[in-house]
Amino acid sequence: MKHCKPSFLGLIIFICIALCLPKLSAVTDQKIHASRRTAIVEAVQKVQPSVASIHVVHTEPVYYRYRDPFRDFFFPFSQRNSPLYKGYRDRISGGSGLIVTEDGLVLTNDHVIGGSGSRIPPKIEVSLTDGRTLSAEYVSSDFTIDLAVLKVEADELPVAHLGNSGDILVGEWVIAIGNPFDLGPTVSAGVVSALDRDFTEPQGDYYYREMIQTDASINPGNSGGPLANASGEVIGINSFIYTGNDYNIGSIGIGFAIPINYARRFLDEVATHGQVRRPWTGILELQNLTSRLADYLDLTDADGALVTSVAANSPAYKAELARGDVIVRINGGYIKSAEEASGIISNLRVGDLCNLDIFQNGRHRTISFSLEEYPEPKSRWD
């Protein structure tokens, strides 16, 4: 039996392969490592340091009855007539926020810091991703579109880069960052599902218009946090989710964010005037039309908003808007209901021009007026 001796060439090839294997392995590892650093990872690293967790302690009044054990034992029903005593209790709520200026302005949703029936200002704390916890002072709110701004005192604050919500693509990647269920900084990714979602009826106390819809997971606690694109630019403020009914509180992939251009305008107003000036039109009450009422007014359909009350000497009054007029268009957009008209008007600012196409005394006409500042504006806790 003959034994095959390895050829000299085969030996050389074997040695070369043995020497190259570590280098090939290192190159493969580098490629894998590079593939992990996606655009989303880099965007999160840009935005997350400027995201804050917000904790709010509301001191609320509570009334209770004095209970006497001896009296309760012998006269169990007498406690119904015992006197009421006033006390206080703390209610804790929270959400997320975004540092938008180097001097410590933190943008969030109004409903994150609001919702207390007490006239006592809440205690607000802001926790940063670097471990710092800071006391925050309430500055101002836009009570209509659900935005608020807080102020913290600190050095070397990471500031978010605000993008342009007028340049968003349906289907592009987005990242929601916040503090859902108070778990701590949390990231979720998805796409822009739709743009310009209008809610004709108020959601709670707020009118949401031109909202960004996303399937990135948004849950309670995400409110006030940023929605960022793959470039690390904040394009929206996460505000609420659609759950399908009143009993589900988790995300089902339908979340909504306020466009960042709305927030820019809000921040500009605060920077210029120290607060959001309450706009004043003088239109006190609007009513939906019915088919019978539309026939009576000789209208072709029941779309529009019927004016039922206008304040004297107000901008709308001076423009000759009167009770019984029907608003059919506002700034070029057709109106279907009183709720839709109220939502559009409430998003206007002091100084904005309001053009109304109305049906008045049997004929169509157009009137215009500029919004003025509401007489004697009051702060939330005045």
Give me 264's structure tokens. 């820019």
Question: Could you tell me how far CA 17 lies from the centroid of its own chain?
Answer: 59
Residues in the chain: 382
Considering 116, 188, 223, 251, which one is annotated as catalytic? 223
Considering 96, 111, 140, 357, which one is annotated as catalytic? 111
Half-sphere exposure of 137 (CA within 13 A, CB side): 7
Kindly state the DSSP code that residue 122 receives in the 8-state scheme. P
CB-based contact 135:52 (threshold 8 Å)? no
Kindly state the DSSP code that residue 6 receives in the 8-state scheme. P
Considering 110, 142, 146, 215, which one is annotated as catalytic? 146
Distance separating the N- and C-terminal Cα atoms of the chain: 106
Strands 173-178, 186-197: parallel, antiparallel or unpaired by DSSP?
Answer: antiparallel
Q: Report the SS3 class of residue 311.
A: coil
Say whether 239 is catalytic.
no
Say whether 223 is catalytic.
yes
Cβ contacts of 91 within 8 Å, gap of 6 or more: 57, 58, 60, 116
Give me 367's structure tokens. 């009137």
Say whether 116 is catalytic.
no
How is 209-264 classified by DSSP, letter by letter? Answer: -SEEEE-S---TT-TT-EEEETTS-EEEEEEEE--SSSS--S--S-EEEEEHHHHH
* Enclosing H/E stretch for 266: helix 260-273
* Torsion on CA atoms 339, 218, 141, 57, rounded to nearest 10: 120
CB-based contact 102:110 (threshold 8 Å)? no
Give me 299's structure tokens. 């209208």
CA proximity to 181, closest of 107, 281, 283, 251: 251
Identity of the amino acid at 95: G
* Enclosing H/E stretch for 125: strand 123-127
Which amino acids are annotated catalytic?
Answer: 111, 146, 223
